[in-house]
Amino acid sequence: MASIGETAFNVRSKNAGPFWVTVDIFCGDEAAFATITEQLSSEDVARLFQQPVETIKRFEIPNLHVVKFSLPRPVVQGDRFDRDMHGAQWAVLLAEHDLDASGGYTLGGDAPGKLTRVP
């Protein structure tokens, strides 16, 4: 099983304002772009980040071999429960996600922003 991080050239995330996070998948070439766009659904991303699929915004940019996902932050940036002020750690969750499996890490648990391993 290949993870997104093993297939893509780079995965990064960043703030998209105080209420949203954007995760960028730089595929590097056409083959990786095709693999990721075919095997990674918006439903997979919604499940990974425990968000309703309706709140996930997906952007595919074929000329650049990039797939972007924007989603609401679980808490407003700067809130006392905000565990990632700059939105940079979200990329790790997606990079470790297997393309052909539903396992990985997910947000959840007892406190907002806590990571939980999903079998």
Other beta carbons within 10 angstroms of residue 98's beta carbon come to 16
Q: Which residues of 76-88 are buried (b: 16+ CB within 10 A; e: fewer)?
A: ebeeeebebeebe
Domain housing 106: 4-118
Instruction: Report the C-alpha gap between 74 and 115 in whole angstroms.
Output: 12
Q: Which two tokens stand for residue 106?
A: 């997910």
Q: What is the DSSP string of 37-78?
A: HHH--HHHHHHHTT--GGG-EEEEEGGGTEEEEEEE-SS-TT
Question: What is the total count of domains within the chain?
Answer: 1
Instruction: Report the C-alpha gap between 6 and 21 in whole angstroms.
Output: 22
pLDDT (tens digit, 9 = 90+) per residue, 26-80? 999 999 999 999 999 999 999 999 999 999 999 999 999 999 999 999 899 999 9
pLDDT (tens digit, 9 = 90+) per residue, 90-114? 999 999 998 875 544 444 444 444 4
